[in-house]
Structure 1
């Protein structure tokens, strides 16, 4: 099964972001993952518009944005214009998630929904025909360095059952260690957002780490 490896750029070295992008591309990552937070939907702040613009400009790989913000529909076109390829929303953050997902696709972008730990698969079933990706949060959204919440395993199994019918990809975000990558790949997860558990702050080059993760 294919494995999409998506470095979380919030964990990268900000003092030399351009060099980080270059080294990650040379390591053959699949998607650059950008966390956008408003300090309201989640009590933290992530990367900004200028960071997003730079990554889109320098990258030859796909770029996604994970919008942890209220009413993301207000900013969909802005991020599309910056050049992102995939836009994720939390359905509970939007009054009309169907309309927002349709807009993402009308702008020529791929649409994704994020399943927070407290949100059930049943809640998002009506949206599955409108999306290209489901990203399961295996920690509470908004902060790096948390422990994996095993309660999400059942939801991953449920999503695997729906995947072929609706033709979406399943990714996980949070506490994504090499051990979890190996286990969840066998369960049917196709993509992994990589943070400090597997990729960053390891005193090894990305081109050494990424092939090992891909071969797990």
Structure 2
């Protein structure tokens, strides 16, 4: 089963962002995960266009943007033009989610939905035939360093059971420790967004950590 490791760049050292990207490139990560927050959909701000541009200029690897913003459909082309390969949005922030998915695909990008802790499988089921990625939030959106929400496990299991039927890549975001990766990869999760629980702020180098995670799984 595929294992995709996606560093959450909200946790990187922004004073040395180009250097951080270089180190992560050498560590052989898979996808750069860029959280975008507008202070309205979630009560916080994160990652502006200049941050996304800097990462894009310094890597040939895939880059995703997770739009935790109101009216995400209005900004699909903007973030596509910045170089995003995958665009996630939260269906509860958009009145016409199917059209948002169509707009992302029209830009030649992969479309993903981010499923918040309070959003059920049934709520987004009708969108699943159209999306390429599903990202299940395992913390409440908007802030780093939160505890893992055990209550999402039954829902995550359901998404794992249905992924072959619908053809999406399943990921999780929030408090993703190495122990969680090992357990949830076996459950059927493909893509792991890595923050301070597993990757950033550690004594080991990024290359050592990523190598160890791959060996463990």
Structure 1 CA distance for aligned equivalents of residues 135 and 26 of structure 2: 25
Give the superposed CA RMSD.
Answer: 0.6
State the 1:106 CA deviation.
1.0
Partner residue in 2 for 1:49: 49
Give the Cα–Cα distance (whole angstroms) in 1 for the partners of residues 208 and 7 of structure 2.
14
Where does residue 172 of structure 1 map in the other structure?
Answer: 172
Matches within 5 A, 1:56-135: 56-135=56-135
Rounded to whole Å, the distance in 1 between the matches of 2:8 and 2:107 is 24
Could you give the per-residue CA deviations for residues 70-101 of structure 1, whole angstroms, max 9, x where no partner exists? 00011100000111100000000001010001
Does 2:206 correspond to 1:181? no
Deviation by residue 1:108-145 (Cα, 9 ceiling, x = unmatched): 00000001000000000000011111000000001110
SS at match of 2:60: coil
- SS for the counterpart of 1:20 is helix
Instruction: Give the corresponding residue for 1:191.
Output: 191
Runs of 4 or more consecutive aligned structure 1 residues displaced over 3 Å after TM superposition:
none
- The alpha carbon displacement at 1:167 in A equals 0.4
CA–CA distance in structure 2, aligned partners of residues 56 and 96 of structure 1: 29
Following TM superposition, by how much is the alpha carbon of 1:184 offset from its aligned partner in structure 2, in angstroms? Answer: 0.2
Question: What is the count of residue pairs matched by the alignment?
Answer: 216
Counterparts of 2:111 and 2:157 in 1: how far apart (Å)?
21
CA distance in 2, matches of 1:44, 1:4: 27
Tell me if 1:144 matches 2:141: no
For 2:184 and 2:162, how far apart are their aligned partners in 1? Answer: 16
Shift of 1:31: 0.2
Q: Partners of 1:28 and 1:125 in 2: how far apart? A: 33
Name the counterpart of 1:158. 158
After TM superposition, the structure 1 stretch with the greater mean CA deviation from structure 2, 92-101 or 49-58, is 49-58
Secondary structure, aligned partner of 2:102: helix
Q: TM-score, normalised by structure 2?
A: 0.98
- Please list every run of 5 or more consecutive structure 1 residues that lacks an aligned counterpart in the other structure: none
C-alpha displacement at 1:215, in angstroms? Answer: 2.1
Q: 2:215, 2:72 → 1: CA distance?
A: 36
| Cα distance in 2 between the residues matched to 1:215 and 1:70 | 40
